[in-house]
């Protein structure tokens, strides 16, 4: 029982790299009208999103921590649609 509780607490304390990546991307979408927006944050199991080019390194570092495989070696891969007309609109990087 004590061991299970310790493991549960450890799991609760751990950050999920996918959630961390989503948070970093959300923050990196902020932009000014003259900023350049690019797509970043791609992994085998997550699609990249429009972000401010000034934040690409931070987004990619978060993406590099994402594992697309579970403990048993089963991996997930997704196909992503591309973005066109990347731009800053309303203070956020967006694309069509």
**What global pTM score does this model have?**
0.81
The residue whose two tokens read 């970043």 is 40
Q: And the tokens for 45?
A: 């199991």
Domains in the chain: how many in total?
A: 1
In contact, 62 and 17? CB cutoff 8 Å: yes
6 domain residue, yes or no: no
Domain of 69, in residue numbers: 15-94
Q: And the tokens for 63?
A: 């993406």
pLDDT digits (tens, 9 = 90+) for 54-92: 999 999 999 999 999 999 999 999 999 999 999 999 999
40 domain residue, yes or no: yes
2 domain residue, yes or no: no
**Confidence band, pLDDT 50/70/90 cuts, at residue 14:** low
């Amino acid at each position: 029982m004590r061991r299970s509780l310790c493991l549960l607490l450890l799991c609760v304390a751990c950050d999920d790299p996918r959630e961390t990546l989503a948070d970093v991307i959300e923050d990196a979408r902020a932009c000014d009208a003259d900023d350049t927006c690019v797509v970043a944050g791609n992994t085998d199991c997550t699609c990249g999103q429009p972000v401010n080019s000034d934040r690409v390194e931070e987004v990619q570092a978060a993406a590099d921590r994402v594992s697309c495989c579970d403990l048993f070696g089963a991996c997930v891969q997704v196909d992503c649609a591309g973005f066109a007309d990347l731009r800053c609109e309303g203070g956020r990087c967006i694309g069509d």
